[in-house]
Amino acid sequence: MNKLRTLLTITLVLLLFLSKAENGYNLWLRYTKVENQVLLKTYQDATLNIVILDNSETSMVIKNELYLGLRSLLSTEPEIANTINDQTSLIIATLNSLPENIKANITIEDKTLGDEGYFIFTNQSENKKSIIITGNNDKGLLYGTFKFLSYLQQNQSIEDINFTSIPKIKHRLLNHWDNLDRTVERGYAGFSIFDWHKLPDYVDPRYVDYARANASIGINGTVVTNVNSNALILTPQYIKKLVTLANTFRPYGIKVYLTARFSAPVEIGGLKTADPTNNEVQNWWNNKAKEIYKLIPDFGGFLVKANSEGQPGPQDYKRTHAEGANMLADAVAPFGGIVMWRAFVYSHEAPDDRAKQAYSEFKPLDGKFRANVIIQVKNGAIDFQPREPFHPLFGATPKTPLMMEFQITQEYTGCATHLFYQAPLYKEVLNADTYAKGQGSTVAKIIDGSLHNNNISGIAGVANIGNDINWTGHPFAQANWYAFGRLAWNHELTAEEIAEEWLKMTFTNDKDFINAAKQIMINSRENLVNYMTPLGLHHIMARNHHYGPGPWVDGGRADWTSLYYHQANDDGIGFNRSSTGSNAISQYFPEVQDLYKNIKTCPENSLLWFHHVSWDKKLASGNSLWDKLCYKYYEGVDSVISAQKQWNKLEKYIDKERFDHVSSLLKIQVNEALWWRYACVLYFQQFSKQPIPKELEKPKFSLEHYKNIEHRFVPGIKNE
Ligand code: BDP
C-alpha cells in the first residue's frame, strides 16, 4: 500500500511537471482548464464535496485521478472525504456500499452491470441533488470515474446525467511485441517501456501512466512480451520482475499475461522434448503455472504463437494445435487463467494459397479445445494490410471462441510517419457480415461471444507504444491506441464519435478544429489504401522492414515476395482466389461468396484480392483497370496533399509544439505517398504496357530510381 502511495505521488509530481510542455506525454488525459464559465460553475458545484466509500487500492487510484483531473480542469483543490453528509455532491461507491435511500432510487439490476460495468446518475433526495458513480465493484467505479472526467474534458453537460456502460467483450488486451532487450518488433516509437534490466527494483513512474491511460479506455490486460517469444521470461529471475509490473497494474484493473515459448521445457527446463502428450512436459507446464500464480494470483494466462514463421509448436511432434493449446490450458485452468492460441499459421512448404491455411488448419479443430482456450485471429487472412476482407475463420467455428487481433502499430501502414487513423479499418471488419447464422452475423457478434453464446470473448491490439516522449511516435497514432480501447469496450461506437472524443481531449474543444481534424482522420484510411494498395492489392511493401513500396520484391520464400501477391503479368494483375484459382473464396459462407465471386460484381475495393483482372477490363466506373489503378494512386497522393493543406489552416487552434510535429510528419507522408505512387505505377506499367492517363503528372524519375531507394536501419526489425 505504502509503496503504491509513494509511486502515485511521484507520478503526480512528474505529471504536473510534464504537463507544462505539450509534448504529447499526457495523451488524452491532459485535463486542461474548462474555459466556459457557466460549465465551470456547474462542474465545480458537482465536485465540491466528493465522497469515496471504499478503501481498496483501486479506490486510491480513483482518488488520485479525481484529484489530478479536477485540480487542473476546474482550478480548485477537490475535497475528498469518506463519509456522506448534507453537502456531498458526488458519491463514488459500489452498489453494496451505497446508502439504502440512494439505492432505492436505482432501477438498474446489479447483474446487468457485471464485474466492470458502471452507472452514473443524478440522485434527488429531498432537496439535494448529487451525482452517483456506482458499479458492482471498484473496477466499475474506476471506469465510471474516467467517464465522468471525460464529460468534463469534453465540456459536456452533467445536468441530470444518466449513463450506463458495460463492456461487450471480456478480455480487452494490448499485445506488446516487446523483446527482453527492449527492442520492439514492428515498433516505431522508440524502445520498450518495460525496462527488464532495472526491474523489479526500479519502478518507472511511466508504468503508472501507462496503466492510467489503459484504464481510462477500458483495457484490462496486457501481454508484455513478443509473440516471437523468449523462454527466459519464464525463468524465476524474470517472473520476479513481472511481479512488479503485475502489482503496479493491478489497481488499474489490468492483468498481466505472457507469451509462452512452446519449446521452453527443453530450453530452460532441461527436458529432452516439448511434446504436449509427454507427462514430464505437462508437469513442467503445470509447475510453471503454479510458480507464476503463487506470485501473481491474478495472472491472466498465456498467448502462444506456435508453428508459425519458425516458432516451435506441437506440430514439431506431430501433435495438433488443439493438443498444444489444451496442455497449456490445463496448466492455467486451476487458477482461472486462459490460453490465447494464435491462428496466424502458414507454411511456405504448403503449396496452398497462404490466405487459406489458417482456416484449413483450425476449422477441423472446432470443438476440440478446452473451455479456457480462445483462438486469436488476425482481422484478415494475410497480415494487417491497409485493407483486407475479414478472415474466413470468423463464423466458421461455432464451438470455439475466437478473439480479434488488430495491429495498432503501423507495420504495413506507414510506421509512425503517416497519419493513419485506424478506427475506420477496425469498424469495417467488425461490421462485416459473415452470414454464419444468416444475415446480421457480424464479426463483432462473433468476437463478443453473442452469436454463438461463447463464454469467453476477447480482443487484442498489437501495441504501438514505445518510450518516445509522446508514447506512439506520431501524435495522431495515439488515436489508434485510444480507438482500439474504446471499440474493445463498445464496438458499436462509430469511428467519427471516437475521433471526436479523442480530438477534444487531446487538443481542444473548438468546433472548427474538431470538424476539420476529424475529417483528416476519417479520410486518412482510404487515402493510404489508395496510394499504397488500391483495388484489393496487398503485401507489396519493401522486403523485411515493410517500409515503403516494393512491388518488385522477389526471391527467397515465395509467400514473402510481392510477386506472389500481385501476380502482375502481361495479361493482367491480381490474385485469383475464385473457384478458377485458389478457391479461397469457398472458405466464406455462400452469401459472402456471392458478393465476391463474380469479377463483374465484386466490390472494386477488393477486386484484385479475389480476381486476376485483365488490364483492359472495363470497370463499373467506366475506366479500364489500368486507368483506374493509375487514378487511384494519384487520388491517394492528392488527398494527402489536401489533408496537409487542411492541417496547415489549424495552426491557430493548438500548441505550436504538436502542430509543428504533425506538419513535419505530413511532409514526410506526402513525399512517401509520391514515392509509393510512382514506384507502383511505373512497376505495373511494365506489364500493362499502357501510358499513364495523360491528364496525370508524369513521374519525374525512372523505375530504377525508385528500386534503388534503400532505407537502412528502419526501426522495428533486428538491423544488422
Ligand atoms: C507479421 C510481422 C512479424 C510478426 C508476425 C506475427 O511481420 O514481425 O512476428 O506478423 O504476427 O506481420 O506473428
437-452 pLDDT, tens per residue? 999 999 999 999 999 9
Q: Name residue 389's amino acid.
A: P
Q: Which pLDDT belongs to residue 720? A: 62
Is 330 part of the annotated catalytic residue set?
no
Q: Looking only at Cα atoms, what is the longest distance across the chain?
A: 82
Q: Ligand 1 within 6 A of 388 CB?
A: no
- To test the ligand 1 pocket, which listed residue (344, 382, 410) has its Cβ within 8 A of the most ligand atoms? 344
Alpha-carbon dihedral sign for residues 602, 604, 607, 609: negative
pLDDT value of residue 7: 61
C-beta 405 within 6 A of ligand 1: no
At residue 703 the predicted structure's pLDDT band, cuts being 50, 70 and 90, is: very high
Residue 14 pLDDT more than 70?
Answer: no
Residue nearest to atom 12 of ligand 1 (CA): 383
Distance of CA 177 to the CA centre of its chain: 12
Task: Evaluate if residue 419 carries a pLDDT over 50.
Answer: yes
Single pTM value for the model: 0.96
Q: Write out pLDDT tens, residues 275-315.
A: 999 999 999 999 999 999 999 999 999 999 999 999 999 99
Query: How far does the centroid of ligand 1 lie from the alpha carbon of residue 276, in Å?
Result: 25
Catalytic residue among 291, 309, 352, 616: 309
Segment 326-350 mean pLDDT: 95
Q: What is the pLDDT of residues 378-393, one digit of tens each?
A: 999 999 999 999 999 9
Pull the grid cell for residue 71.
Answer: 485540480
Phi-psi group of 709: left, alpha or beta (phi > 0 → left; psi -120 to 50 → alpha; rest → beta): beta
Ligand 1 binding pocket includes 547 (Cβ within 6 Å): no
Residue 247 confidence (pLDDT) above 50: yes
Catalytic residue of the set 54, 353, 383, 501 = 383
Catalytic residue among 65, 209, 411, 428: 411
Is 411 among the residues known to form the active site? yes
Answer yes or no: is pLDDT of 430 > 50: yes
Sign for the pseudo-dihedral over CA of 650, 651, 656, 659 = positive
pLDDT tens, 623-632? Answer: 999 999 999 9
Kindly report the number of other CB atoms within 10 A of residue 490's CB atom. Answer: 16
Q: 186: CA distance to ligand 1 center in Å? A: 8
Which ligand 1 atom is at minimum distance from the Cα of 378? Answer: 11
Burial environment of residue 107 by CB neighbours within 10 A (0 to 12, 13 to 18, 19 or more): exposed
| Angle at CA of residue 553, ends 549 and 555, nearest 5° | 165
Q: Give the rounded percent of residues in the chain with a pLDDT score beyond 90.
A: 92
Q: Is the CB of 541 under 6 A from ligand 1?
A: no
Torsions phi, psi of 102, nearest 5? -80, -45
Instruction: Decide if pLDDT at 2 tops 70.
Output: no
Taking CA atoms, 320 is separated from 323, 344, 401, 404, in Å, by 5, 14, 18, 22
| Cα-to-centroid distance, 203 and ligand 1 (Å) | 30
Are 376 and 461 within 8 A, CB to CB? no
Average pLDDT over residues 691-709: 97
* Cα 35 to Cα 424: distance, rounded to the nearest angstrom: 32
Residue among 179, 259, 383 to mutate when testing ligand 1 (max atoms within 8 A of CB): 383
Q: Measuring from atom 9 of ligand 1, which residue has the nearest CA?
A: 228
Average pLDDT, the chain: 95
Task: Label the pairing between strands 90-92 and 128-134.
Answer: parallel
Among the residue ranges 346-360, 508-522, 525-539, 694-708, the one predicted with the least confidence is 346-360
Give the number of the atom of ligand 1 that is nearest the alpha carbon of residue 412. 12
pLDDT of residue 4: 59
Please indicate whether residue 411, judged by its CB atom, sits closer than 6 Å to ligand 1. Answer: yes
Q: Whose CA is nearest to atom 11 of ligand 1?
A: 344
Domains and CATH numbers, the chain: 31-165 (3.30.379.10), 171-505 (3.20.20.80), 529-575+612-707 (3.90.1330.10)
DSSP label of 585: G
Of 360, 237, 356, residue with least CA distance to 291: 237
pLDDT at 662: 98
Q: How far is the CA of 513 from the centre of ligand 1 (A)?
A: 37
The closest alpha carbon to 385, from 365, 348, 363, 410, belongs to: 410
Angle formed by the axes of helices 138-153 and 57-74, nearest 10°: 10
Pocket-testing residue among 227, 391, 557, ligand 1, by greatest number of atoms within 8 A of Cβ:
227
Instruction: Using the mean position of ligand 1's atoms as its centre, give its distance from the Cα of residue 466 in Å.
Output: 17
371 CA from centroid of ligand 1 (Å): 27
Res. 103: pLDDT tops 60: yes
> What backbone torsions phi and psi does residue 561 show, to the nearest 5 degrees?
-110, 160
Of all protein residues, the one whose alpha carbon is nearest to atom 2 of ligand 1 is: 186
Q: Is the CB of 346 under 6 A from ligand 1?
A: no
Pairing mode, if any, of strands 613-614 and 572-573?
antiparallel
Is 377 within 8 Å of 393 (Cβ atoms)? yes
60-74, 105-119, 539-553, 582-596: least confidently modelled range: 105-119
**Rounded average pLDDT over 41-62:** 95
- Residue of minimum CA distance from atom 13 in ligand 1: 227
Q: Can you tell me the mean pLDDT for 56-73?
A: 97
**How far is residue 360's CA from residue 415's CA, in Å, rounded to a whole number?**
31
- Do residues 572 and 613 touch, judged by C-beta distance below 8 A? yes
Q: Residue 232 Cα, ligand 1 centroid: separation in angstroms?
A: 20
Question: For ligand 1, is residue 185 a contact (CB within 6 Å)?
Answer: yes
In DSSP terms, which residues pair with 246 in a beta bridge? none
Active-site residue 115, yes or no? Answer: no
State the pLDDT confidence band at 718, using cuts at 50, 70 and 90: confident
Q: What is the rounded CA–CA span in Å between residue 714 and residue 720?
A: 11
Give the DSSP H or E segment for 565.
helix 562-566
Look at 106 and 227; give whichever has higher pLDDT: 227
Instruction: Name the least confident of 344-358, 473-487, 598-612.
Output: 344-358
Which residue puts its alpha carbon closest to atom 1 of ligand 1? 383
User: Is pLDDT at 249 greater than 70 in this prediction?
Assistant: yes
Task: Give the whole-angstrom CA distance, residue 402 versus residue 170.
Answer: 12
Torsion of CA 622, 624, 629, 631, to 10 degrees: -50
Closest CA relative to residue 358, chosen from 587, 565, 595, 597: 587
Is the beta carbon of 227 within 6 A of some atom in ligand 1?
Answer: yes
Pick from 436, 428, 379, 435: which is nearest to 407 by CA? Answer: 379
Mean pLDDT of 70-83: 93
Mutate to test the pocket of ligand 1, among 177, 303, 379, 565 (most ligand atoms within 8 A of CB): 177
Say if residue 11's pLDDT is above 70.
no
Mean pLDDT across 126-145: 94
Percentage with pLDDT > 70 across the chain: 97
**Which residues, 6 or more positions from 512, have their beta carbon under 8 angstroms from its beta carbon?**
653
Q: Is residue 3 predicted with pLDDT exceeding 70? A: no
Residues in the chain: 720
- CB of 228 closer than 6 angstroms to any ligand 1 atom: yes
Q: Report whether residue 186 contacts ligand 1, using a CB cutoff of 6 Å.
A: yes
Q: Using the CB atoms, write b or e for 289-324: b if 16+ within 10 Å.
A: beebbeebeebbbbbbbbbbeebbbbbbbebbbbbb
Q: Is a pLDDT exceeding 70 seen at residue 581?
A: yes
pLDDT value for 349? 82
Give the single-character DSSP code of 183. -
What's the pLDDT score for residue 19? 46
Ligand 1 neighbourhood includes 344 CB (under 6 angstroms)? yes
Residue 560 Cα to ligand 1 midpoint, Å, equals 12
Q: Quick: pLDDT tens for 84-94.
A: 998 999 999 99
Q: Which three cell numbers stand for residue 405?
A: 487481433
546-563 pLDDT, tens digit each: 999 999 999 999 999 999
Euclidean distance between CA atoms 639 and 632, whole angstroms: 10
Band (pLDDT 50/70/90 cuts) for residue 403 is very high
pLDDT greater than 90 at residue 347:
no
